[in-house]
Amino acid sequence: MSAEDVMRDRIALVTGAAGGIGAAVARTLAARGATVAAVDRDPARLAEAVDKLVAEGLAVTGYTADVTDHAEVDALVDRVERETGPVDSLVNVAGVLRLGGALELSQEDWAGTFAVNATGVFNVSRAVVGRMVPRRRGAVVTVASNAASTARVAMAAYAASKAAATMFTKVLGLEVARHGIRCNVVAPGSTDTPMLTSMWHDEADRTATLAGNPGAFRVGIPLGRVASPEDVAEAVAFLLSDQARHITMHDLTVDGGATLGV
């Protein structure tokens, strides 16, 4: 089987698909033959992203949903399976970043971050994997962050929520392994997306991302480049594929060495 059809005849549900890593994942899976249900809560951005993929001849359909609402998520998965077929692959990408020191974060920032980054993963995974179990097949990848295991200044809510999503995914993987379902994590570092560039104010910030910032206790990126969304999408595609059929509960870091392999 060629690289172009390793996902042939599979149905993949991707959250956070309106831009950045989510859009790259949707494109990569569809290019490999999957039928993709692209999910996002922003209808305008989602429609724009899906239209671009459809124009490329890819089988991608957009679905608007808020991953923080469990009833909405259940209805979404019912609709996708009714209209498209049983979901074989789930990719949890939807995420938000709210910066702030641990002592300065508002209750709203903390709760809002966990609602999407952790509870959203719980809601969607439960809805999809619950349907995978009786079919005894399926694969899940949660896109977390290298911040889930390495402390980052001003990222208390983000790092904690990604750590929660990471461990939830691994525990889920342990519990459903007997049903032939695999659950893995991809942990990106700095990736060229609007989430990253929103933290940059000038060229010095970009330089610090590559070279490191001792004042923030942060090393740079040994490979000397910021990841592209496609770099992360390729890691996701691998973990969903049959090439990774004996890999589960794994955390694959894609950060150019920024966390020094720890």
Just list the catalytic residues: 158
Cβ atoms < 10 Å from Cβ of 179: 14
Identify the burial level of 180 via C-beta atoms within 10 angstroms of its C-beta, where 0-12 means exposed, 13-18 middle and 19 or more buried: middle
Report the C-alpha gap between 27 and 19 in whole angstroms: 11
Distinct helix (H) and strand (E) counts, the chain: 9, 9
The two three-digit tokens of residue 217, written as one number: 């206790």
| Beta-bridge partners for 77 | none
Taking alpha carbons only, the member of 4, 13, 20 closest to residue 227 is 20
Report the C-alpha gap between 166 and 144 in whole angstroms: 6
Taking alpha carbons only, the member of 52, 76, 55 closest to residue 64 is 76
